[in-house]
Amino acid sequence: MAFLERHCLIPGAVIRIIEVMPFNETVTLESGGSQVVLGLSVARNLWVVPA
C-alpha cells in the first residue's frame, strides 16, 4: 500500500496508461508527473473509471 501511495496511485488520482507489455506481464502508468511500472497482477487490482 505504501508503494502505491508513494507513486500517487491513490483514490481520486488521475492516471494514464503508457504501455502494456503482455509478454513480460507489466503495465507502465503515469501518475503525479512520474511513471511507474506495475506487474499485471498488481495492476488488475486497481479500480479506475474513464475520465
- Using alpha carbons, list the distances in angstroms from residue 38 to 13, 45, 51: 16, 11, 21
Of 2, 9, 7, the closest CA to residue 45 belongs to: 9
Domain range spanning residue 25? 2-43
Residue 48 lies in a domain: no
- Using alpha carbons, list the distances in angstroms from residue 50 to 1, 3, 15, 16: 23, 23, 10, 10
User: Does 51 score more than 80 pLDDT?
Assistant: no
Residue 49 lies in a domain: no
Task: Quickly state the pLDDT bin for 48 (edges 50, 70, 90).
Answer: confident
Q: Output the pLDDT for position 49.
A: 87
The span from the CA of 30 to the CA of 20, in Å, is 12
Domain count for the chain: 1
Residue 20 lies in a domain: yes
- Average pLDDT of the chain to the nearest whole number: 92
Residue 51 lies in a domain: no
Q: What is the pLDDT of residues 17-28, one digit of tens each?
A: 999 999 999 999
For the whole model, what pTM was predicted?
0.83
